[in-house]
Structure 1
């Protein structure tokens, strides 16, 4: 008995220590507190130290100067992702992209602890990877007031990163070190499923949990159908069994949702839109900002648990569908660059809301919206989910990019795009774009003045390329990334984000007093051009009244005009 007593005492002390050592900042608080960046990293370091199933790894830098981390849970205690991808599925969880929305940070700390301790079912066929806090600069910029519409926690981080970028608009253009390091993480772990935890803003309703699921039409093929008709419904059903009601992200802000709302199309600038370019199905839990913090953390935790359980059961199917989906994007097939809502197709969904009305504002004396939480309702409302293609492109066999566009080439390489440098000067028959009309934003948006509504002409010609220029075949895992970035009319193309603006500026000009005589000589020697010129003067009075416009027309139609002006410097080789 005397010999057993010290052992029993040690066991009791160890159990007591386990119960306290692994409590998170959130659990130690009053249900309305979230961990700081330092506390979050220290907690995962503690888990790494105490559990062989958890590994913490330092990754690339962020704009804050601090590195990103990934924390991996694998019950097999192996962390070589090349081997993992052959044997298991991978779930990547991203937290703190908007550190004022910290629900996922605290929920994931508890999730990893509970997995390590076996408090929840441990997956056999799934490895879980977590970026503890993606926007480190925003997390370090802690305050209690920047989320004026949000009910807790007591203090939190800021939406903008260390350089004031919204990181959930930066995944494709990658202006930040955060985005570039994220891309390296993403391609290292190659996730089959992706979750990016958020908090919503907008209308008031009864739900604590709403969600954005990558639009199935953007995922495409049987993978998109599986995501839409099997995976998402099962996840939501699992939540409902735990008395957690859910609804798609309510994309309504200054009006009542009673009349219905539209599905959110997640373009490549957003995290789930970025993931879908590599055939990864993704979701953004959007807990409701007016619900108390403890309730929001709980539903975020339960959604991740549901995702783990489903992916573990269906890992083979998900991985096979991802691989098969590439067959939908072969050369000569069509790809949708731009989508628009199909107003002719309306579905309906049950909705749990609060009665909304308008009353006189105490501030302005004008009409203002308010919700009466004493008057909940349940009704069926319209929901626009279907989109239709508004612009398609034929997928080329390859793109050719001159080596001079190193800024673009660098981003392609970061995203695992395979490319081959020419071994010698080579001439190719290509399709070439010449930029015509386009619109440019009048105000800055995430460090840019983006272009839209791009019109252009396509010509077929032979172009000579230099040794070291890059040929990029489209038959590779990143084919959708290539189409979304290199086709100038795409919503988030590199052209849209100003990467090629230098070709929009003319570099050489003429002095009218010198060019007058040369212009006459050009017309005299080219009767077809002269006839077209005279016809334009006859048809266009503004043109005929402007000597400057006439000289400019002759210049731009002559061999003296620089060929690089408005010529898009990415070329298409067709099959």
Structure 2
């Protein structure tokens, strides 16, 4: 039973949030008030979103009403056994991925509910599909195919509450950010630990969409924009041709459509200092653990939508509808132009890859539609706090610090070679769609191997894994490769993604995510009674080792530490584990 305090909160969920600037937009005309396909969102006048059971029921109702052109596909199952479903909409009534991939019309993949408290895309997508089903929008399927996932994180969606997101206006009851195992799906695009993102990888591989839209709701500061969206800009993108095509053919149409319908579209940026907005914006560049960073390395045009959490749910959903409609128009007009840019990006010869970035010390400047704010001392926290005032404030030259600084860049090898026993890593590569070749004819090649000179494990798990940060040195080795090895050639469409997954210096590599933790343990040891006589023999017959040992002994601390001396001598012997701290994935340059 709710306490009186919680009951009061439940009745006024946004009383603690900043005041709103009143909004009325032409997109309000998109909402219907009656009819057999009225959505739960519309029935509630724009404040509610249906639960999983009702969502699946409405999805089935849509398919039944428009069965000739709508087809429901189960693309996976959650950890708790719930179906993850996708609606395929096509003029021809396609039922298979092969049909969609072979069609000349472009395909748009719309994904909602990866963070299931941020569920705007589900209700917007259903309204759009309803308008197709009832004949109001026959133009859409004449021009594009649609793939619509209303809830990707279905288990998190059912961890529903009125109190899941304190800084978000609606819906009145919403799902949770992470899945049933408390994993964030939008940190999983490289490691593929969650059924939801594994399902997405499979959908992208077999349906081959031309544009991928991932709908979120942002946190953070207050500003006038209700719909913000973006992708890694061309000046920091690993695949700039795709970003340039998005700038030219897609974003202008989306932007214009939103403005026409009374929305305020804005750039995908965040705040450098949440206590002092005027210090500027953070131009974040997504890595491949995120949907848009993953799409970038796949040459897949990917838009990350971040609706503004402080705007009312109705306004955000209607803005999402308009954004999706604009993306459809862009694909209808420029699908071939976008596909040409993607093909050119794939054919480009890439020699290196930036794998880590930092914020620039010198900013760019943009005009920005902000909200006025003030500081005050809170009696509750005893600290200086920020208070947004619900009044427009225009910044003429607000600094933006993009992540232009290159912190780590790697040379792209011609190929990687992986021992077969690392089955989990090979499984991830396969699900990602990376082409892997079995070695059939034995061959000896000069390859490069990384050795870990020092490392640090995270002090707490992140996304269910203890990440590791290694320091590495590289050496050339001659290795005989046989049927116990597989080859990953980087001269393939997913060569950039494969490089980030397999190069040990990449922060989203499988090594740093913990797929090779067995390298950090030794399982064979030496007894002192065997080591002392063996070491004596080794030093008397190997002058190079003897010379190194005598040099080491000049270090007084080493000379006085028997354990350190034993450890060093054991490392020089052929009995020492030669795989210990040696990264097993080899590189060919």
TM-score after normalising by structure 1: 0.91
Partner of 1:20 in structure 2? 35
What is the Cα deviation at residue 378 of structure 1? 4.3
Partner of 2:122 in structure 1? 105
What is the Cα deviation at residue 409 of structure 1? 0.9
Q: What value does the CA root-mean-square deviation take over the aligned residues?
A: 2.1
**Unaligned stretches of 5+ residues in structure 2:** 1-31
Of 470-479 and 209-218, more deviation after overlay is shown by 209-218
Structure 1 residues 375 and 320: alpha-carbon distance in aligned structure 2, compared to 1, 3 A threshold: closer
Contact 1:219-1:279 within 8 A present in 2 as well: no
What is the Cα deviation at residue 327 of structure 1? 2.4
Partner of 1:274 in structure 2? 294
Partner of 1:445, secondary structure, is coil
Q: Find the aligned partners of 2:151 and 2:389 in 1 and give their Cα distance.
A: 36
1:165-203 CA-to-partner distances (Å, cap 9, x unmatched) read 111111211112222222111212112211111111111
Q: Find the aligned partners of 2:247 and 2:567 in 1 and give their Cα distance.
A: 55
2:188 aligned with 1:173: no
What is the Cα deviation at residue 479 of structure 1? 0.9
Structure 1 residues 386 and 237: alpha-carbon distance in aligned structure 2, compared to 1, 3 A threshold: farther
Structure 1 residues 30 and 242: alpha-carbon distance in aligned structure 2, compared to 1, 3 A threshold: closer
2:410 aligned with 1:390: no
**Aligned counterpart in structure 2 of residue 370 of structure 1, from 387, 397, 405:** 387
Partner of 1:379 in structure 2? 396
Partner of 1:76 in structure 2? 92
Partner of 2:122, secondary structure, is helix
Q: Find the aligned partners of 1:362 and 1:206 in 2 and give their Cα distance.
A: 29
1:382-420 CA-to-partner distances (Å, cap 9, x unmatched) read 112352433222222222111101111111111222222
The residue correspondences of 1:25-64 to structure 2 (distance < 5 A) are: 25-51=40-66, 52-64=68-80
Partner of 1:431, secondary structure, is strand
The residue correspondences of 1:76-475 to structure 2 (distance < 5 A) are: 76-86=92-102, 87-120=104-137, 121-122=139-140, 124-216=142-234, 217-252=236-271, 254-330=274-350, 333-344=351-362, 346-374=363-391, 376-385=393-402, 387-423=404-440, 425-452=442-469, 454-475=470-491
**Unaligned stretches of 5+ residues in structure 1:** 1-16
Aligned pair count reads: 553
Contact 1:214-1:283 within 8 A present in 2 as well: no
Partner of 2:513, secondary structure, is coil
1:280-316 CA-to-partner distances (Å, cap 9, x unmatched) read 1111211111111111111111111111111111111
Q: Find the aligned partners of 1:60 and 1:111 in 2 and give their Cα distance.
A: 24
1:129-165 CA-to-partner distances (Å, cap 9, x unmatched) read 1111100101111111111111111101111211111
Q: Find the aligned partners of 1:557 and 1:224 in 2 and give their Cα distance.
A: 52
Q: Find the aligned partners of 2:528 and 2:253 in 1 and give their Cα distance.
A: 71
1:249-303 CA-to-partner distances (Å, cap 9, x unmatched) read 3423632322211212111111122222211111121111111111111111111
Contact 2:246-2:338 within 8 A present in 1 as well: no
2:571 aligned with 1:552: no
Partner of 1:522 in structure 2? 538
Partner of 2:538, secondary structure, is helix
What is the Cα deviation at residue 329 of structure 1? 4.2
1:321-344 CA-to-partner distances (Å, cap 9, x unmatched) read 1111122345xx222222233334
Contact 1:402-1:466 within 8 A present in 2 as well: no
Q: Find the aligned partners of 2:279 and 2:177 in 1 and give their Cα distance.
A: 30
Structure 1 residues 327 and 390: alpha-carbon distance in aligned structure 2, compared to 1, 3 A threshold: farther
Q: Find the aligned partners of 1:67 and 1:365 in 2 and give their Cα distance.
A: 48
